[in-house]
Structure 1
Amino acid sequence: MTLPRQTRPAALVVGAAALLLASGVSAPAHATPTHAAASRAAAGSLPAVTPVAETAPLFDDEEGGNANADDPAIWRNGADPARSLVIATAKEGGLRVYDLDAAQVQALAAPAGPGPDDAPGRFNNVDLVHRMPLTTGRADIAVVTDRGNDRLRVYRIDRSRPGGPLTDITDPAARPVFSADQAEINDQRTAYGLATWTDPATGRSYALVSRRHETTVALLELVAAPGGTVGYRKIRSLELPASFRMPNGTSWTPCAEPGERPQVEGMVVDPASGTLYAGQEDVGIWRVRADLGGRPELVDKVREYGVPATYDEETEECAAGADPGFGGRRLSADVEGLTLITESDGDGYLMASSQGDNTFAFYDRELEDDNEYEAGLRITPGSRDIDGSEECDGAAALSQPLGTKFPRGLLVVQDGHDGPHDGERTATNFKFIDLGKVMDRIDD
């Protein structure tokens, strides 16, 4: 999750361009212009694809309803794939639903807080469950983390429903996911990242939910409630590390504002192996069993892994020291937007947004191959005044045919800096990319 540039805490600043280049660390996008330019130059050799459509811009200001694009999910209409939908979060702007032309077909507001001084609803991440058994019959549902209220929100999907395809079916008795009371909710260490999983052995469906500013990931079972609603109950939780032992014997903790721990947002479950992949933003990509059993393993690390840094209260930035060379080579913090691409033969890729250098990394999804890195990609400006994707927060891929527009599937990515726009307003939106062209580029 990336806050607006002017409010993002703990920006990593290295004192000299020579240090950055000598260490091999690509600068995050929030570093100084010299370092950002070096990072973009390193990413420039990667192949590129261009979007074919984009959604209308969202503006995170009062005039725009404090709407900020974040995370998409793709719902395939089995009866008519050309009428499939993209369901996407807009933070305080709630949910947006788009057709395959990237035109909006529905907007749903986030619920308000219980009182005028309480945190407002804020939709962070979204994922889908197919054919969830409800008391009124099976249904496809969209599950959303409401970070503002520390709840899960659940929406039934019905493409032909008058008034819009989504209907709120959240159990009114649903409790906060992590917080003990409203004061804790207002502190906003609340439900954040999200991935859904259906256990093939039992048929039960779950939501894996991370906690903002913490290392916690919780496993929640989704439960059918009266009247066709859906609630949830916590099964167990996992604490990922906040500090790491380096090969030279030192201990490293990612730099952040006081009291904040290295959080997780981007998550996805591979249903074939029952593996959860979780992006700890300033650390790297973890894999662990989706039931949160077993020992988590790091698939890959960000370049900044192990770089010592000190938080400066006055500048609200982290001043970094010399790079000891323990980081990875493919990801530049933050690591975000994890999604799976499944090929017809069952193989495929885990895709991750390397937010710091505006690229995407692709890993073999097969555990037997230890999730080996396979390729990198950029999403660059296309025709019809459609720009590329920068500082991507969320992504979703679906490799099944979606009518004549996307016969080989669709990739949707968030663009953290949509443009150009007049004036001082910062815009975000979602880019639609032909998944077939992505596969052609990374398989070259």
Structure 2
Amino acid sequence: MSHARKAFHKRYLTITASAVVMAAVAAPAQAGPTPTVAEVAAKAETPSMFDDAAGGESSADDPAIWRDPNDPAKSLVLGTAKVGGLRVYDLAAHEVQSLPAPNAPSAEDKPGRINNVDVIDGANLAIATDRGRDKLVIYSIDRSRAEGPVKDVTAEKSAPYIFSADQDEVNKQATAYGLASWKDKKTGRIYAVVTQETANQVALLELTKEADGDYGYRKIRTIGFPTTFTLPNGKTWTPCEDPGEQPYLEGMRVDPANGMLYAGQEDVGVWRLRADLTGEPTLIDKVRDFGVPYTQDPATGECTPGEDPGFGGDHLTADVEGITLLDRTGGGGYVVVSSQGDSTFAMYDRDPAKGTPFVKSFRVVAGKGAVDGADGTDSLDIVNQSFGSAYPHGLAVIQDAPDTPTVTGDDGEPREGSNYKYVDLGDLSTATGLSFR
């Protein structure tokens, strides 16, 4: 979240909280029931990551679950660590492998920064965005591989910049950011949709397989998402961003059953559109501060919110972050969206014929022992299949930042950690009152 957006959301939440209190005092009899947020306890957590002493950033950001089709108990969780590369964990949340981020082309250039990762079902592949180098990184997954189950199989000569024209543009870091990928069941082709940091652009890529078995990719098309919106009162509104930035996207997921992409524009809401990036996107839900006017200090970029006109949604507090799908065994299921601003997760019925209505919200709270809950979540992944005795009903993995308790560094200063929480899908079903079978 940018500096300007942090300041705006902090002030907006303070103002709206005061308004809620005043309304409750003025007319308690007219106040409707407040929707309850279900609470589910985390069952396990991975080791914490911390910024290093040199000021780099090795922190948890985005998880992806790989289910071993031959032995589900040996399944893995992949988690991005930004400049720390990629981490691999087992079902006990123990780290089993650490892969470094790719090197920078030279000392003056930006190093690799693995931001988002996605597992390709049925292909034993994972794709990640390299935010530092504006590229994709492709990994193969083989649980029996002696040197480690995950291996970088990117064909560098066939891995062009995604949004940048040259290395100078890469160094400005308007680069590959969010990611969603899928395998077309009819053709066997593998695609990825990638967002651009600080801009509203989204690109569709297709993976290409080289003669030696490594993978590259080619760009098919790029589209831009709306940045200015017409409100019901006839006025136009643009979200508060740092100067020079556009309202951009990160969290995304493709539903292979119907070819629909769900994409989160962080300060706007959740969109639904065709995964091939054709046709017009539909905004299925908005953040609470959608349409709130503001004044921006030209010197600092900070935004001060004005009076809320009431055009926002009821379930998402900016930023809109991670998005995943929760399949139901009998068909259909839910779109699950991280509402980072209030550390909750909103669930929507993903049937487009129903208009993707809101169903339920939940939060992840502390479990047994030292396992804490999840706050300010960037991303999550959910798989509704058995993983053996550890997670017989399915598994959800959720990023947590900051992780608690806080650790003190050698300099006596607190170090903000981050990690991934594991949640039993059976516990989530019980907590929400929803059947996933």
Same-fold call, TM cutoff 0.5: yes
After the TM superposition, which residues 110-189 of structure 1 pair with which residues of structure 2 at under 5 Å, given as runs? 110-132=101-123, 140-173=124-157, 174-189=159-174
After the TM superposition, which residues 252-263 of structure 1 pair with which residues of structure 2 at under 5 Å, given as runs? 252-263=237-248
User: For 1:12, what is the secondary structure of its paired residue?
Assistant: helix
Is the alpha carbon distance of 1:159 and 1:226 closer, same or farther for their aligned partners in structure 2, counting shifts above 3 Å? same
Residue 91 (str. 1) matches residue 102 (str. 2): no
* Corresponding residue of 1:427: 417
CA RMSD, 1 decimal: 2.0
User: Structure 1: where are the runs of 5+ without partners?
Assistant: 25-41, 133-139
TM-score normalised by length of structure 1:
0.90
Paired with 1:63 and 1:406, the residues of 2 have a C-alpha distance of 39
* Corresponding residue of 1:219: 204
Paired with 1:428 and 1:281, the residues of 2 have a C-alpha distance of 20
Paired with 2:60 and 2:34, the residues of 1 have a C-alpha distance of 24
* Corresponding residue of 1:374: 359
* Cα distance, 1:316 vs structure 2: 4.2
Is the alpha carbon distance of 1:15 and 1:234 closer, same or farther for their aligned partners in structure 2, counting shifts above 3 Å? closer
* Corresponding residue of 1:288: 273
After the TM superposition, which residues 36-115 of structure 1 pair with which residues of structure 2 at under 5 Å, given as runs? 45-62=36-53, 66-115=57-106
User: For 2:430, what is the secondary structure of its paired residue?
Assistant: helix
Paired with 2:201 and 2:336, the residues of 1 have a C-alpha distance of 22
Instruction: Work out which of the residue numbers 224, 246, 259 in structure 2 matches 1:239.
Output: 224
* Corresponding residue of 1:34: none
* Cα distance, 1:45 vs structure 2: 3.8
Paired with 2:307 and 2:405, the residues of 1 have a C-alpha distance of 36
Paired with 2:357 and 2:401, the residues of 1 have a C-alpha distance of 28
Query: What do the CA deviations read for 1:362-393 (whole angstroms, capped 9, x no partner)?
Result: 00011121111000101111111111011100
* Corresponding residue of 2:28: none
* Cα distance, 1:71 vs structure 2: 0.2
Tell me, yes or no, if the aligned pair for 2:155 and 2:214 is still in contact at 8 Å: yes
* Corresponding residue of 2:192: 207
TM-score normalised by length of structure 2:
0.91
Tell me, yes or no, if the aligned pair for 2:42 and 2:367 is still in contact at 8 Å: yes
Paired with 1:142 and 1:213, the residues of 2 have a C-alpha distance of 25
Paired with 1:112 and 1:421, the residues of 2 have a C-alpha distance of 30
Tell me, yes or no, if the aligned pair for 2:153 and 2:215 is still in contact at 8 Å: yes
Paired with 1:244 and 1:54, the residues of 2 have a C-alpha distance of 40
Paired with 2:322 and 2:292, the residues of 1 have a C-alpha distance of 23
* Cα distance, 1:43 vs structure 2: 8.9
Is the alpha carbon distance of 1:7 and 1:262 closer, same or farther for their aligned partners in structure 2, counting shifts above 3 Å? closer
Amino acid in structure 2 at the alignment position of 1:98? Y
Amino acid in structure 1 at the alignment position of 2:160? R
Amino acid in structure 2 at the alignment position of 1:415? D
Is the alpha carbon distance of 1:66 and 1:8 closer, same or farther for their aligned partners in structure 2, counting shifts above 3 Å? farther
Tell me, yes or no, if the aligned pair for 2:4 and 2:240 is still in contact at 8 Å: no
Query: Which has the larger displacement, 45-54 or 188-197?
Result: 45-54
Paired with 1:13 and 1:7, the residues of 2 have a C-alpha distance of 10
Tell me, yes or no, if the aligned pair for 2:121 and 2:182 is still in contact at 8 Å: no
Equivalent pairs: percent with the same residue?
49
Count of paired positions: 417
* Cα distance, 1:422 vs structure 2: 2.9
Paired with 2:55 and 2:141, the residues of 1 have a C-alpha distance of 26
Tell me, yes or no, if the aligned pair for 2:61 and 2:115 is still in contact at 8 Å: yes
User: For 1:14, what is the secondary structure of its paired residue?
Assistant: helix
Paired with 2:235 and 2:45, the residues of 1 have a C-alpha distance of 46
* Corresponding residue of 1:269: 254
* Corresponding residue of 2:334: 349
Tell me, yes or no, if the aligned pair for 1:219 and 1:237 is still in contact at 8 Å: yes
Amino acid in structure 2 at the alignment position of 1:366? D
Query: What do the CA deviations read for 1:65-106 (whole angstroms, capped 9, x no partner)?
Result: 621100000000011100000001000000000000000000
Paired with 1:19 and 1:346, the residues of 2 have a C-alpha distance of 39
Instruction: Work out which of the residue numbers 411, 415, 418 in structure 1 matches 2:396.
Output: 411
User: For 2:191, what is the secondary structure of its paired residue?
Assistant: strand
